[in-house]
Structure 1
């Protein structure tokens, strides 16, 4: 199928599909006129990519999945490399959440102090 058809079937922009191809996540064959042609099995790969990206993973994270991203059903196909990526991403998010909580507490304290000083005037 051509890129437009893949785009329609997956709800993915042609620009994103070209990017996935550029990053080596999907492959296309070229017609004699240079048009991209995709195998039908690329549909589920693109849907998996969109699902993983929507879950907060990056393209670099997804590269670590290896061939697991080509599974027909990500949930039904256990993948050790996916587990490692999920755990790493969770650790990263936990660190960011801790940092944001610390920053919020500091800002709340400064706000409280400033409010009290303004009332005292």
Structure 2
């Protein structure tokens, strides 16, 4: 199939296919007149790249999966190098999740303090005419550094 047909079947652009070719992820055969041609195996490689990118993998991280398919394995993740990329990606995701959990705890704590401060403002002072507590706004202070 020609580059336009491959692009259409993979829901991408010919520019993207040329970029993948320049990066060594996709290899086109050339006809006598220089046109690029591809086969079903190329479509399969392209779909593997697309799935991994939807999962958040960088383009270069897809290389072991592509090479695994090119080596004739039934799946792109049937090779040790692909499994290593999965492990690295999971560690990266775990670190992001931990960081988000820390931020969530900080926001939750801040919300609790804000609700408490609003409750204190709504409660009448113990002595009429006595000094009222000034509102606390801890958002004006710099948050603790993220880990």
TM-score by length of 1: 0.81
CA contact 2:25–2:66 (8 Å) conserved in 1: no
CA contact 2:48–2:66 (8 Å) conserved in 1: no
Q: How does 1:67-106 map to 2 (within 5 A)?
A: 67-70=67-70, 71=72, 73-74=74-75, 78-106=78-106
Q: Which residue number in structure 2 is paired with residue 39 of structure 1?
A: 38
- Structure 2 Cα separation of the partners of residues 9 and 64 of structure 1: 23
Q: Which has the higher helix share?
A: 1
Cα RMSD, aligned residues only:
2.3
Q: Please identify the structure whose Cα radius of gyration is greater.
A: 2
Segments of 5+ residues of structure 2 without an aligned counterpart are: 122-147
Give the number of aligned pairs: 119
Structure 1 residue runs of 4 or more that deviate by more than 6 Å after TM superposition = none
Deviation at 1:24, TM superposition (A): 1.6
Q: Which residue number in structure 1 is paired with residue 137 of structure 2?
A: none
Segments of 5+ residues of structure 1 without an aligned counterpart are: none
- Structure 2 Cα separation of the partners of residues 22 and 112 of structure 1: 53
Q: Which residue number in structure 2 is paired with residue 48 of structure 1?
A: 48
- Structure 1 Cα separation of the partners of residues 3 and 48 of structure 2: 17
Question: RCO (CA 8 Å, sep 6+): is it higher in 1 or 2?
Answer: 1
